[in-house]
Amino acid sequence: MSILDKFRLDNRVAIVTGGNRGLGKEMSAALVEAGAKVAVISRKAEEARAAAAAYGGSARGYGCDVTEPEQVEAMVSQVAADFGGVDILVNNAGVNIRGAIDELSLEEFQQVQNINVTGVWLVTRAAAPHLKASNYGRVINIGSTLSIIALPERTPYASSKGAVLQMTRALALEWASRGITVNAVLPGPFATDMNLPLMQDEEKYRAFLSLIPLGRWGELDEIGGLIVFLAGDAASFITGAGITIDGGWTAR
């Protein structure tokens, strides 16, 4: 197999949660371009289907709330039935609620944990038998630079993304003997809808730029190459890793 062939994903089946917008959109499109059959997951089925149609290839959209166990089990089973299995799982669905700890409610804190942590665990658990059966499995969890560093007024998000990185490491050890790799991608500031409040606040935007050695935010299409790499044969000896893609921010 040539080195370029190791980046091909022909006939591999991938699930991408939150695959209809932001970084998830770019990840889904990149996987399709690399040859994968992609199940695009969103809480709103119509948005997932519209996104999948735009990606072309063998993409299909599915509605699922990743915090609801029954919905998760049904979604994964349907994807496996429609495509003939599951080889790749990208746990991307997530939310961010910012604020000082004494201004946030318990419900807001729990909402972030439920989607960002419990959702990852539920979808991965549901996909487990299919990944094991594929003799290939790849799990890519989307963490954050806040998996390893911190910012003020981010207790819900930083707590959740730290948990995602530790879940990644634990599962990598659990599944290593089966040849399933489990890694985390840790993005820094990208121009997504989630980050609009920061981008629209000139002071905060400049403060973020001052932390990034490359001097800019990430472009959305810069995430796709890393996802395709981790999903393919080229990354077969990488597991339990948390890989930053942050313009050098965490190298300081």
What does the domain layout of the chain look like in residue ranges? 5-187+223-238
pLDDT at position 104 is: 98
pTM confidence score: 0.95
Distance (Å, whole) CA 187 – CA 203: 21
CATH 3.40.50.720 assigned to 5-187+223-238: yes
Q: Which of 215, 219, 212, 216 is nearest to 248 (CA)?
A: 212
Q: Which long-range contacts (CB under 8 A, 24 or more apart) does 221-227 make?
A: 221/26, 222/190, 223/23, 223/26, 223/27, 223/30, 223/185, 223/187, 223/190, 224/26, 224/27, 224/29, 224/30, 224/33, 225/30, 226/185, 227/27, 227/30, 227/31, 227/90, 227/140, 227/185
pLDDT at position 172 is: 98
**What is the helix, strand, coil percentage profile of the chain, to 5?**
55, 15, 30
pLDDT at position 202 is: 79
Q: Is 8 exposed, middle or buried (0-12, 13-18, 19+ CB in 10 A)?
A: middle
Structure tokens at 76: 């994964």
Distance (Å, whole) CA 115 – CA 247: 27
Structure tokens at 199: 């981008």
How does DSSP assign 42-83, residue by residue? ESSHHHHHHHHHHH-TT-EEEE--TT-HHHHHHHHHHHHHHH
pLDDT at position 29 is: 97
The CB-side HSE value for 13 (13 A sphere, CA atoms) comes to 20
Active-site pick, 62, 136, 157, 205: 157
pLDDT at position 186 is: 98
Over the Cα atoms of the chain, what is R_g?
17
- Annotation marks residue 62 as catalytic: no
pLDDT at position 37 is: 98
pLDDT at position 190 is: 87
pLDDT at position 200 is: 75
Residues (pLDDT < 50) of the chain are none
